[in-house]
Amino acid sequence: MLLRIDDLHVHYKSYWYVNQVLNGVWLRMDEGERIGIVGETGSGKTTLLKTILRILPQNSSIPRGTIKYREIDILKASEAELSKVRRSEIGMIFQDPMAALNPVFKIKDQLYDVIKYKFLADGSNPSKAVLHEHALGVLESVSLPDPERVLESFPFQLSGGMRQRVMIAMALLSAGKLLLADEPTTNIDVTLQDQILRLIDKLVKQRGLSTILVSHALGMVRQMTDRAYVLYAGDIMEEARTGELLDHPKHPYTDLLVSSAPKISSRRIGEGIRGKLPDYRSPPAGCRFAPRCPYAMDKCHKVKPKRTALNAEHVVACHLYE
């Protein structure tokens, strides 16, 4: 198994309160798999990816849970072990390239840093010429035209699509085994989204990488993943093969999520899901979806549902199936 997450809890402390965001997340992933994580904005998807890399902000804490990446216990690993993982095993494409790239440094300086970090792992100190050659190579691998000009540019001088390609290039430098893609087409012109997705898909296949794609766009998840998890308010609600999950959702939340997605073939706009995500400062004691669920029973408000396996590949966390 490449990655195994169990009972993962993540909290954020604000001035007065503790926000209980992840609430016992589980996930399994084999080498070579393409996993999707779907859910609405604010459900904890980005927090989950950042926890895998242990790059959470300082006001966060992980009161419970385990993350096992290959033989490494991520939550107990030393800084040296984590650096090795971040340098050459797991890469991440961040959601907003304008926020992820440093606005006051040219692209070349930011790329050189990542490449140098990688070289340092083998104890070598590359010259400027070597860094430049590598940087050109990675920009060419993501099909960026005129890479010399891109290297000499500041992030604001590039279009959204070009910045995202730079982010993909940077992530690929570290992703020896696993690529985490956090909403990789957010903030990109809709005409370019398909190109970016195809590019990621091509590079992932060429390099034999495993991927976790986080998105609220169900079409993208269908196209690019083999298995998917549904995350709602920090809890995994359902897990199945992607086609099965989207075509035959079993959990009430997944069902509403799928039916509210706009479809080209339909003249109607989906109705959406009534209500909003719970307040993470005092989330519901039982099922976190209970305040919005049309099937909620008394028990749902008090007891957190257990995982129920409908078959070897389809798991639901809902009292209706226990």
Paired sense of beta strands 314-317 and 235-241, if any: antiparallel
Nearer to ligand SF4, 94 or 289 (CB): 289
- Could you tell me which stretch among 14-22, 62-70, 71-79, 294-302 binds ligand SF4 (CB under 6 A)? 294-302
Q: Is 138 within 8 Å of 172 (Cβ atoms)?
A: yes
Amino acid at position 300, single letter: C
* Shortest Å, Cβ 20 to ligand SF4: 17
Nearer to ligand SF4, 24 or 219 (CB): 24
* Shortest Å, Cβ 318 to ligand SF4: 3
- Selected binder of ligand SF4 within 252, 256, 258, 315 (CB under 6 A): 252
Residues in contact with ligand SF4, counted by CB under 6 A, come to a total of: 14
* Shortest Å, Cβ 244 to ligand SF4: 18
* Shortest Å, Cβ 151 to ligand SF4: 51
- Selected binder of ligand SF4 within 17, 30, 295, 298 (CB under 6 A): 295
**How far, in whole angstroms, is CA 172 from its chain's centroid?**
15
Name the H helices within the chain: 45-53, 79-88, 97-100, 107-121, 128-141, 147-151, 160-174, 190-207, 218-224, 242-247, 252-260, 298-302
Residue 75 class from Cβ within 10 Å (0-12 exposed, 13-18 middle, 19+ buried)? Answer: middle
Closest CA relative to residue 214, chosen from 39, 1, 30: 39
Q: Does 296 bind ligand SF4 (CB under 6 A)?
A: yes
- Could you tell me which stretch among 5-13, 148-156, 190-198, 292-300 binds ligand SF4 (CB under 6 A)? 292-300
Residues 303-322 that bind ligand SF4 (CB under 6 A): 305, 318-320
* Shortest Å, Cβ 227 to ligand SF4: 21
- Could you tell me which stretch among 94-102, 172-180, 217-225, 295-303 binds ligand SF4 (CB under 6 A)? 295-303
d(CA 20, CA 1): 28
Helix (H) / strand (E) containing 182? strand 178-182
- Could you tell me which stretch among 98-106, 260-268, 290-298, 306-314 binds ligand SF4 (CB under 6 A)? 290-298
* Shortest Å, Cβ 261 to ligand SF4: 19
d(CA 220, CA 185): 10
* Shortest Å, Cβ 297 to ligand SF4: 6
Closest CA relative to residue 69, chosen from 169, 173, 170, 180: 180
Nearer to ligand SF4, 112 or 289 (CB): 289
* CA–CA distances in Å: residue 297 to residues 115, 219, 273, 305, 308: 55, 32, 18, 12, 17
* CA–CA distances in Å: residue 12 to residues 9, 19, 35, 58, 76: 10, 5, 26, 9, 19
- Could you tell me which stretch among 26-34, 74-82, 220-228, 296-304 binds ligand SF4 (CB under 6 A)? 296-304
Residues 270-289 that bind ligand SF4 (CB under 6 A): 287, 289
- Selected binder of ligand SF4 within 115, 169, 290, 315 (CB under 6 A): 290
Phi-psi region of 208 (alpha: psi -120 to 50; beta: other; left: phi over 0): left
Amino acid at position 225, single letter: T
User: What residues make contact with ligand SF4 under the rule CB under 6 A?
Assistant: 252-253, 287, 289-290, 293, 295-297, 300, 305, 318-320
